[in-house]
Amino acid sequence: MKNSRRAFVKGIGMAGLMGLMPEAHAMEPIPRRGTHIKLSLAAYSFRDYLTGKTKSMALDDFVDLAAQYDLDAVEPTSYYFPEPVTPEYLHQLRRRAFVLGLGVSGTAVGNTFTHPPGPERDKEIAHVKKWVDHAVEMSAPVIRIFAGTVQKGTTEAQARKWCVETIEQSCEYAGQRGIILALENHGGIVATADQLLSIVREIKSPWFGVNLDTGNFRGPNPYEEMAQAAPYAVTVQVKTEISAAGKRSDADLGRLVEILKKAQYRGFIALEYEAKEDPKTAVPRHLKTLRKLIS
C-alpha cells in the first residue's frame, strides 16, 4: 500500500512538474501589451572610424561617444573587438558602459547557417556559441545572427532546412546560457519577409526571435514587409535609408516607428547608420528625431 501511494504521489508530482514546463512550439507573434521603445546605437555606424586606414576609435571611444548622445544602451558589434576577445576585456567594456549610464542592448556575430551537416556547419555553430559566451560576459541579452546564401550545388529548400536545424541547435546552447538569438533579414535566403518568416515559424525555441533591420527589405514595398516581420521582433536595427525596388531614398522614420507601435513592440531600437554623411554629424541628428518619435 505504501509503495502504491508513493508511486501515486510521485506520478502526481511529475505530472505537475510537466505542466509547468513550456512546450516547444513553432514560433508565433510575440504576445505583448502596449509599446515601450528604448534607444541604442550600433557600433557599425562608426565602422570607418573603428577599422581601416582612417581608424581613430576603439570600442571604448565608441561607448564614450554614445554616452554623449543620452542613449539607453549601445550595441558593440563583434567585428570591432580586439583579438583575442577575453573575459577581462568584456568585463571592462561592460563596466565602462554601466558607469556612463548605458546598457548593452545586444551584439552581432557574422555567420552562415546554410551549410549541410559537416565540418563547415560545425565551425559556424562553434563560432556562434563562442559569441554566446561573450554575450554572457558583457550582459548582452541578444545576438543578431544571419542565415546566409544558398551554397553551391544545393537548393534554397535545402538551405532553409539546414538553416532551421542549425538555428535550433544553436538556440539550445544559447538558452542554456540565457541568451536570445535574433535572425536578421539580411539578403540571401531571408531577403524577403516571406522567406524570413518561412524559417522563423519553423523554429521551436523560446530563445529565438527576429532582428528587424528596416533597411534590408528591398522589394517594391519594404514598409509592408517590415509590418509582416515586426510582430516577431525581439530587437530592431533602424536605418535612415530604404531601397524600394532598387531605388534608394530617405526612410520615413515616423512610419517605421508607427509600424513598431502597431505591433506593440517593446525593446530596443538600435540606430545603424549607413548613409554617406559623416556619422559624427548625422547620428546625433537622427537620434534626436527618433527620440521625439518614440516618446
Residue 167's domain comprises 30-294
Q: Note the pTM of the prediction, 2 decimals.
A: 0.91
Report the largest interatomic distance among the alpha carbons of the chain, rounded to a whole angstrom.
81
Q: How many domains does the chain have?
A: 1
Tell me the mean pLDDT in the region 56-61.
97
* Residue 83 clears pLDDT 90, i.e. is over it: yes
* Residue 23 clears pLDDT 70, i.e. is over it: no
* Residue 17 counted as domain residue: no
* Residue 237 counted as domain residue: yes
* Residue 91 counted as domain residue: yes
E strand or H helix at 132, and its extent?
A: helix 119-137
* Residue 239 counted as domain residue: yes
* Residue 4 clears pLDDT 60, i.e. is over it: no
Question: 52 falls in which pLDDT band (50, 70, 90)?
Answer: confident
Helix (H, G, I), strand (E, B) or coil at 142: strand
* Residue 7 clears pLDDT 90, i.e. is over it: no
* Residue 12 counted as domain residue: no
* Residue 5 clears pLDDT 70, i.e. is over it: no
* Residue 10 counted as domain residue: no
* Residue 37 counted as domain residue: yes
**What CATH number is given to the structural domain containing 53?**
3.20.20.150
* Residue 14 counted as domain residue: no
Q: Per-residue pLDDT tens for 246-265?
A: 899 999 999 999 999 999 99
pLDDT at 26: 82
**SS3 sequence, 61-125?**
HHHHHHHHCCCCEEECCHHHCCCCCCHHHHHHHHHHHHHCCCEECCEECCCCCCCCCCHHHHHHH
Q: Per-residue pLDDT tens for 211-244?
A: 999 999 999 999 999 999 999 999 999 999 999 9
